[in-house]
Amino acid sequence: MPDQAPAQWLSNSLIVSRYREKTPGSAKLAKEAAEVFPSGLTHDSRYLEPYALYVDRAQGAHKWDVDGNDYVDYFGGHGALLLGHNHPEVTKAVQEQIAKGSHYGASHPLEVRWAELVHEMVPSAERVRFTSSGTEATLMGVRLARAFTGRSKVLRFKMHFHGWHDHMTSGMANHFDGTPTTGVVKGVADAVVLATANDEAGTRAVIEANPDIACVIIEPTGASFGRVPVKPAFLTFLRKITKEKGIVLIFDEVVTGFRVSPGGAQAEFGITPDMTSLAKILAGGLPGGAIVGRKDILELLDFAQTKAKGVEKIQHPGTYNANPISAAAGIAALTIIKTTDANKRANASAAKLRGLLNDAIVAESVPWAAYGTFAGFHIFTNPKRRAIDPKSFDAFAADPEELKGAWSANITHKVRLGMMVNGVDINGGPGGVMSAVHTDADLERTADAFRATLKLLKDEGDIR
């Protein structure tokens, strides 16, 4: 579709007018929000033209907006809700804990049980340090790696996301030449080197050219949960070369942790990094994160160990580290994931949905494809209209920029709006994450909504 100015496509679209008709309460709130928030928003990925959806309540795999409309939800709390909204055991644990106090300003029993579960489930988690978010986890990961190696640089992969702190901005959505994004100092950007995932020779060359690399960090299934997928063989290569060169390997499992399998992508692929960043499912849908990893690295946070070694301890306060309510939710969620087939069910539902979406694509003769691995799905909107077979689409053979490119296009908004007017909320990839509680009826409703959306987009001339 042409990249028109929003005003143009917004006023000409039946999809947009249906969305407006269905969501007057959201429109009103968006207007109020615009007076207090930049863009009226609190998270960039909730950006939606003509305005964002305002949600009032959620249960299981569904959520309801302020106008009472029901949506099958694939935003999944930005990936935090593998067990769906308000899982009864998670809710009960939170209710019990909140009645006992929200913050003790002290160590507490739940943080110990929570860390023990992480230690038992995640292969690399010899030691655990809780943070308040995934961003804080990768921030501490970088600092630990630098302190441990005495080196300064961070090697990242283009398009991979590791939170929003200063080291993680260039080369994620833009600035692929490594120049600093606005508000970040040049010195920080210069300490980040970028490589292309799956390119072993190129990555080796970057590592050889930069003897000062402290750590390599990667989303182990690929950028944006495999929207631009990574081959497990590339992870094996990284494990080998980082070992050879004394570089700390960090898997950012903020999304994949407890989702791909109870032990995350590292357990699934049998590759153990030196450190792992965790968040989202870790805290059962409440705020929380952790940096976990080798004992000898995390010892840099240890009062006695650093003193004994005569090295400076890394400081790590954080008002909400291991907050008791997050700990209660996290213990409940991780226990269910550890002891049930929740991952298998979510993975199987996602595979089924990818098949149903491709059936709709074939039925509507649209040159798109649904793809993905584990408990997620991505929709390739094929900006260059290449000849593809949706059923055998190989994301590894596709151009990474085309896979991720839909982000900037109006089409993403329209696909989301089309799905919303048909009762489904997906993310802006476009794509989504699956829970273990989506039913077959939810999946079928999603496929019907997708087919109806494709028809609407064809009617509006957005896809031919």
Site for ligand PLP in 372-401 (CB under 6 A): none
- Of the two residues 310 and 317, which places its CB atom closer to ligand PLP in the complex? 317
Check binding of 133 to ligand PLP (CB under 6 A): yes
- Of the two residues 137 and 419, which places its CB atom closer to ligand PLP in the complex? 137
Check binding of 165 to ligand PLP (CB under 6 A): no
Report, in Å, the least distance between residue 155 CB and ligand PLP: 16
Check binding of 279 to ligand PLP (CB under 6 A): yes
Site for ligand PLP in 8-27 (CB under 6 A): none
Check binding of 252 to ligand PLP (CB under 6 A): yes
Interface residue with ligand PLP among 247, 254, 327, 420 (CB under 6 A) is 254
> Cβ(167)–Cβ(142) under 8 Å?
yes
Residue closest to 224 by CA, chosen among 261, 252, 196: 252
Q: What strand order describes the sheet that includes 192-195?
A: 127-131, 289-293, 275-279, 248-252, 213-218, 153-157, 192-195
Check binding of 219 to ligand PLP (CB under 6 A): yes
Report, in Å, the least distance between residue 371 CB and ligand PLP: 19
Residue closest to 379 by CA, chosen among 414, 352, 344, 406: 406
Check binding of 206 to ligand PLP (CB under 6 A): no
- Of the two residues 252 and 268, which places its CB atom closer to ligand PLP in the complex? 252
- Of the two residues 78 and 352, which places its CB atom closer to ligand PLP in the complex? 78
Check binding of 134 to ligand PLP (CB under 6 A): yes
Stretch that binds ligand PLP, among 22-30, 161-169, 230-238, 311-319 (CB under 6 A): 161-169
Interface residue with ligand PLP among 50, 77, 163, 285 (CB under 6 A) is 163
Interface residue with ligand PLP among 262, 273, 289, 324 (CB under 6 A) is 289
d(CA 80, CA 255): 8
Report, in Å, the least distance between residue 73 CB and ligand PLP: 16
Check binding of 80 to ligand PLP (CB under 6 A): no
Report, in Å, the least distance between residue 29 CB and ligand PLP: 23
Report, in Å, the least distance between residue 7 CB and ligand PLP: 30
Stretch that binds ligand PLP, among 157-165, 266-274, 368-376, 392-400 (CB under 6 A): 157-165
Check binding of 162 to ligand PLP (CB under 6 A): yes
- 254 burial (CB, 10 Å; 0-12 / 13-18 / 19+) is buried
> Cβ(425)–Cβ(419) under 8 Å?
yes
Residue closest to ligand PLP, measured at CB: 134
- Of the two residues 43 and 186, which places its CB atom closer to ligand PLP in the complex? 43
Report, in Å, the least distance between residue 113 CB and ligand PLP: 22
Check binding of 78 to ligand PLP (CB under 6 A): yes
445 half-sphere exposure, CB direction, 13 A CA radius: 19
What is the contact surface with ligand PLP in residues (CB under 6 A)?
Answer: 78, 133-135, 138, 161-163, 219, 252, 254-255, 279, 289
